[in-house]
Amino acid sequence: MSAAGSTEAAGRVAGRVAIIGGGPAGLMAATVLAEAGARVELFDAMPSVGRKFLLAGRGGLNLTHSEPLADFLQHYGDRAPVVRRWLEHFSPGDLRLWAAGLGIETFVGSSGRVFPVQFKASPLLRAWLRRLDGLGVSFHARHRWIGFDDAGKALVRGPDCVSRPVAADAVILALGGASWPRLGSDGGWTGILEARGIAVRPLRPANCGFDVAWEPGFIARHEGEPLKNLALSFDGRTVRGELVLTRTGIEGGGVYALSAPLRDAIERDGSACLTIDLRPQLSAEQVRDRLKRPRGSESWSTWLRKSVNLTGPLPGLLRGVAGTDAGPARIAQLVKALPLHLSGIKPIERAISSAGGIDLDELDDDLMLRRLPGVFAAGEMLDWEAPTGGYLLQACFGSGVAAARGVLAKLRQETLHQPPGA
């Protein structure tokens, strides 16, 4: 299946489209447009496209998730109605078919997440770029978007430091948010759009880590170690996952799944308390019964390991809260609900993604900016966020398809209204 989906049925189009940004949203928009016959030029400030996409695949490229769409959409919070429109035209199933069309087979992991069989981003990106090259897409590396000229044309500055207008019938902005700025998404576009009267919500870290004031001896022994098979809870929500101990705090998939409410609480209150169930597979009663086992001459760590299978950093983490005089009842309580005080948020430069961006009220249903007719936007530039697990990438892909379909609708409408012989 092509990325354009059913757009081919509406006929091919003529027109020139400029895409600013070569991440997943921009590349997907280029695919849809080029397959429909548009002449596409893609501009990116970096020496090559897809750099953040490649970073996302370093630990195994999680493209999407296999769960039912109703469950899938819950991960977008109050933005779910908007994201639903994107996914109706490019669903998780469509994404897998599109990858297969590039020669990239995918599989569903035990968690329901969808990965390429190669588990890497680079083979998919290479196949994708070959396809785009075959479709006639022109790439312009080291070209930074710097705004619009007096005639409303997009301005780009090339490696020769000369600014030039881009001749195009429509423009798609897909510049990303502000995480990992060294890979190209530095958020520098916000001021350009705000100067045009477009509301942009502040860019904030998402899928991020948090600060913890560790006891120096504890973190010196355990820095970098993962804590697996946990249940993490905050503000009435519980997720199963893992976290990783860093020198100054915590990272990891379980943490990222709760990062939005944790971030909001810290911004509001100055701190937040994450609750960790160290043994979610055991009931509270089972933990209490197992901790009735006499400790005798065993060390704290040995007793916890033999009683409830707490190993690695977990005994030390528990000791840091319980102290050395806590009885079995108190320890059992903490095994099931260990509080971890978070004192700060890791900076956006180290976050996997960012929240905030163009206020969705500034866009019509085709993702065109109401104040800038002919200019569309997609991807992390828009004010939505999602956890890792396939939800983030799927919405980036889907918004790229949605913006491209909006451009195609505009081009076709303009063709219909052209006078005879034009």
Do 177 and 381 contact (CB within 8 A), yes or no? Answer: yes
Look at residue 9 in the predicted model and tell me its pLDDT.
39
7 pLDDT above the threshold of 50: no
pLDDT digits (tens, 9 = 90+) for 198-219: 999 999 999 999 999 999 999 9
Structural domains of the chain ordered from first start: 5-205+349-416 (3.50.50.60), 210-345 (no CATH)
Taking residue 192's Cβ as centre, other Cβ atoms within 10 Å add up to 17
Strand pairing partners for 154? 148
220 pLDDT above the threshold of 60: yes
Look at residue 401 in the predicted model and tell me its pLDDT.
98
Rg (CA), the chain: 25
Do 87 and 389 contact (CB within 8 A), yes or no? Answer: no
pTM, to two decimals: 0.90
Number of DSSP helices (H) and strands (E) in the chain, helices first: 15, 20
Going 139 to 142 to 145 to 148, the CA torsion angle's sign is negative
The number of C-alpha atoms within 13 Å of 176 and in the hemisphere containing its C-beta is 31
3-class DSSP state for residue 14?
A: coil
364 pLDDT above the threshold of 80: yes
Look up residue 120 and give its amino acid. K
What tokens appear for 15 in the block? 């027109």
Do 128 and 2 contact (CB within 8 A), yes or no? Answer: no
Which secondary-structure segment (H or E) carries 80? helix 80-89
6 pLDDT above the threshold of 80: no
**Which contacts of 69-73 are long-range, i.e. CB under 8 A and separated by 24 or more positions?**
72/391, 72/394
**Rounded Cα–Cα distance for residues 367 and 346 (Å):** 31
Q: How does DSSP classify residue 176?
A: -
305 pLDDT above the threshold of 60: yes
Q: How does DSSP classify residue 160?
A: T
Separation of CA 96 from chain center: 18
3-class DSSP state for residue 54?
A: helix
Q: Which residue has the tokens 């669903």?
A: 91
Look at residue 296 in the predicted model and tell me its pLDDT.
83
Look at residue 78 in the predicted model and tell me its pLDDT.
93
Q: How many residues does this entry show for the chain?
A: 422
DSSP codes, 328-369: HHHHHHHHHSEEEEE-EE--GGGSSEEEEEE-GGGB-TTSBB
The pLDDT confidence band at residue 416, using thresholds 50, 70 and 90, is low
The pLDDT confidence band at residue 71, using thresholds 50, 70 and 90, is very high
